Structure 1
Amino acid sequence: MTSPVHYVTVTAPDGEVVGYAWGDATEVEWMHRKASSPSAYKAGLEWYTKVREAHERGLTPLGVLGLLSHEPGVGPVTEAPDVAALEELARVVTPADDRRLLAQLDRDDAEAWQELADAFDALTDDDRDVQWGGGTKSPSGAIHVPFPRYSEALQRAVHALRGVGAVTPEYRWRHSPLPQAPPEGGLRPADAMRAATAVVSAERMSDGEIAEAVANGLLDAIATSLRAWYADPSAEEQLKADAPPTDRPHADPGTSAAAHPQPPAHPQPLAPPMCRFCGGSPAADVTFRAHRGLVILMGFRKTDGPMCMTCGLAVHRALTAHTLAWGWWSPLSLFLFAPLTLVRNLLAVRKVNRLPAPGPGTLGPRYDPGLPVHRRPRAYVALVPVLWVLFMIVTGLSGGV
């Protein structure tokens, strides 16, 4: 029986979806997006480390996702029916993925494209009938590993694919299945690049990949698709026109679009904002400040972010008591910065006081508000400058009589 999981979508600054951090009741994991660029994959490795480090701090899986959701480029915590649904989402190919691959083709190199056409037009049935060598036993008893014998014409055709840029490191072929030649119709240009990259690159690791692509018609389908793309520039423009304003995922060719779950158009957080300290909710976005005046030097400090009633009250009391004790010991602090800081803290704490008691925290222990400000002895240090100012005023008025 499957169970729901929660996840956050991580997006790069350029808008590309890097991957998904997800968690169930006990574990939190990272899932790369299959069609992402190499740079996004590298960024995903860093996010994997970040996810594991957060979990090792003792946070619950939902607490980790809630913490990550406040970082730039990370979406809200969202629910998926199960891990399989999230895996389907990670396999979705976007129009931006296609455009990124097609940008690797060198349309301006007319000579390379002519070479591609000439090389494939020159292939004969004998070239496509790849023979194998090796596989025989030597006098010493060793067996030679079988290997394909590619004709010079076929090698020329494969080299021509490289010449136009169809074999590109922008496609992470090891993480995706090899595209197949469609029984009817041609490959989409971006899929032709995926197939070319996978076939040519895999040949270096496993002899016979090119031979198989020749036998099943995939290699010819690749060339046909790329030549049609080069001959008709409007195909590229049509791809751009078909792209939505934001790169919403679409299904791979030959599969049902309904099989790929679409992310919500306006995903909603599962809960109100969480406190940045304890993870409890509800929380209010507030800023508390502290000021310190030291004759001619001054110090400023602030703590901001979503805070629950308990943690917010604790921060307010700590920073306000600090200001009352140390915020007066310079002329500007006495008459401007310290009073302004206290007033701003009073306005901020009103938002916190209106919150109900927070629910259970998910990020860690909740702050202890401690004693109210008026019951903290050091807060009464503020009476010293106040009494001094009053003394100076009374003395001045008495001297003027």
Structure 2
Amino acid sequence: MTNPVHYITVTAPDGEVTGYAWAGVGVDDVEWITRNASSVSAYNASTQWYDRVREARDRGLTPLGVLNLLSHEPGVGPVMEAADAAVVEELARIVTPADDQRLLDQLDRDDAEAWRGLGDAFDALTDEDRDVRWGGGQKSPSGAIHVPFPMYSQGVDRAVDALRRVGAVTPEHRWMDNPVPTPSPEGTLRPADAVRAATAVVRGEKFCDGTIDKALKSGLLDAVVASLRAWYAEPAAALPAGPTTAGARTEVPEARRLPDQDLPEPPDPSSPMCRFCGGSPAADVAFRAHRGLVVLMGFRRTDGPMCLTCGLAVYRALTTHTLAWGWWSPLSLFVFAPLTLVRNALAVRKVKRLPAPGPGTLGPRYDPGVPVRRRPRAYIALVPVLWVLFMIVTGLSGGV
């Protein structure tokens, strides 16, 4: 059994996909996933998009409302439907030819001396260089055990530095977010994967001692250098294709665009959208509620663009609240409750002049319910008033 999801694709101005926002059916949240192979600039842009997704969600929109709202932004694709979240995760793992080329562009082809140094350094590695010795591990007199660490030879250090000099170690590959490429059974790597592997190994050594040692013993570094040297000698030469990063596909057939009847039409940009449902036209209004609590008072305000339907719902709810609880202090009785009712009556006139709203794009539309005069809560304040009048009439009658 699958759990269908909806998602949007976000691209940078140059067309590079930065990530995907998606929401599952029946799940009350929107997730953001960054494309693993994206550039540094696209990755930085994706963090801003994550914030925009959270801001839209904080407005109280439904998950599909968030996706539909953002789908009208420049560089964002239409809302699509997929069988489950795994499809979106697979999309985020796609590696494109442009991703490969971006990594190859980091290599400094013009520095012939650096490339000679790379070949010389690896050709000069001896068996002793490759048999890395480890220090530490002994117990001190205090009982503490020193953490083991690799002691690389000058030859290994020279070889690693040569990889940096030719540009094979680059921040354009986010190695923590991607698996380390492995050579083919023939021991070859594609040039772009050689850059990925070099970056992962050299930078990974700072976080995990022995990463370079492991790459030397497994033959990964030899495959990296062989691929880079072949590319430098003949960049157009086709090497046997080795495994690339996981999910290097160009399409996911399980994804489909939602039909037009599943999504409302985008709102007219010249007309404000209702803050609650996304319908238009809408009027910028403010409705208030007041509550008197003998010596304390409470105030509430709801403002922003509202369509006819949602505006009537807010007006009726806040006005009914004021009629029920807005009289229970002296200032409330003579000042704040009447003022609140008058301001609401003026504001609702703007809403009532609006035509019926178009389809909502952000979420469910509020139900206005019955008019205020047909709501029993609006007459709660009459109970004590009638009781006082009854007592007055009774007193006067008794005194006659």
Could you state the TM-score of these two structures normalised by the residue count of structure 2? 0.65
The aligned amino acid for 2:211 is E
Q: State the distance in 1 between where 2:254 and 2:216 align.
A: 39
Mapping 1:265-276, distance limit 5 Å: 270-275=262-267
| Count of residue correspondences | 295
Partner of 1:196: 198
Residue of structure 2 equivalent to 1:3: 3
- Pair 252,49 (structure 1): closer, same or farther in 2 beyond 3 Å: farther
Alignment partner of 2:234 out of 218, 232, 235: 232
What SS does the corresponding residue of 2:95 show, helix, strand or coil? Answer: coil
CA contact (8 A) 1:279 1:364 kept: no
Task: Classify the secondary structure of the residue corresponding to 1:6.
Answer: strand
Q: 1 CA distance for matches of 2:251 and 2:147?
A: 42
- Cα contact 1:28–1:61 (8 A) shared by 2: yes
CA RMSD in angstroms, aligned pairs only: 3.7
2:265 partner amino acid: P
SS, match of residue 3 in structure 1? coil
Q: Report how far residue 84 of structure 1 moved.
A: 1.0
Give the Cα separation in 2 of the matches to 1:365 and 1:127.
Answer: 71
Provide Cα deviations, 1:337-376, integer angstroms capped at 9, x if missing partner. xxxxxxxxxxxxxxxx9xx9855653475899xxxxxxxx
Residue 217 of structure 1 aligns with an amino acid whose one-letter code is G
Pick closer, same or farther for the CA change 1:147–1:192 going to 2, 3 Å.
same
CA gap 1:4/1:191 in 2 versus in 1, 3 angstroms: same
Structure 1 equivalent of residue 186 of structure 2: 184
2:364 and 2:161 mapped to 1: Cα distance? 58
Displacement of 1:124 after TM fit? 1.5
Contact 2:82/2:254 (<8 A) preserved: no
Contact between 1:188 and 1:225, CA under 8 Å: does it hold in 2? Answer: yes
Alignment match of 1:91 (pick from 90, 93, 97) = 93
Shift of 1:273: 1.5
Q: Distance in 2 between matches of 1:74 and 1:10?
A: 5
In structure 1, which of residues 215, 218, 226 is the aligned counterpart of residue 217 of structure 2? 215
1:171 matches 2:173: yes
1:234 partner SS: coil
Aligned to 1:261: 252
- Which of 43, 50, 73 aligns to 1:71? It is 73
1:193 match: secondary structure = helix
Kindly indicate whether the alpha-carbon contact (under 8 Å) linking 1:280 and 1:359 is maintained by their aligned counterparts in 2. Answer: no
8 Å Cα contact 2:34-2:46 kept in structure 1:
yes
Q: What is the deviation of 1:234?
A: 1.9
**Residues 1:143 and 1:185: Cα distance change in structure 2 (over 3 Å):** closer
> Aligned in 2, Cα 1:215/1:267: closer, same or farther, shift over 3 Å?
farther
Give the Cα separation in 1 of the matches to 2:92 and 2:199: 21
For the Cα contact (< 8 Å) 1:277–1:366, is it kept in 2? no
Distance 1:50-1:168 versus aligned 2 partners, 3 A rule: same
Partners of 2:361 and 2:12 in 1: CA distance? 29
Structure 1 letter corresponding to 2:68: G
> Residue type matched to 1:202 in 2?
G
* Match of residue 81 from structure 1: 83
For 2:361 and 2:256, the matched residues in 1 are separated by 29
Q: What letter is aligned with 2:103?
A: L
Of 148, 151, 165, the residue aligned with 2:150 is 148
Q: Tell me how far apart the structure 1 counterparts of residues 36 and 168 of structure 2 sit (CA, whole Å).
A: 19
Shift in Å, 1:39? 1.2
1:15 matched to 2:12? The reply is no
Distance 1:37 1:150 in 2: 32
The 3-state SS of whatever aligns with 1:23 is strand
Gaps of 5+ in 1: 240-250, 287-308, 312-352, 369-401
Q: Confirm or deny: 8 A CA contact 1:34 1:90 kept in the other structure.
A: yes
TM-score normalised by structure 1 residue count: 0.65
Distance verdict in 2 for CA 1:105–1:254, change over 3 Å:
closer
Q: Distance in 2 between matches of 1:121 and 1:267?
A: 57
Mean CA deviation greater in 133-142 or 16-25: 133-142
Judge conservation of contact 1:161–1:196 (CA < 8 Å) in 2: yes
1: distance between equivalents of 2:204 and 2:68?
A: 41
How far apart are 1:178 and its partner, in Å? Answer: 1.8
Cross-structure match for 1:107: 109
- Unaligned runs of 5+ residues in structure 2 are 282-306, 310-354, 369-400
SS of 1:30's equivalent in the other structure is strand
Matched, 1:277 2:273: yes
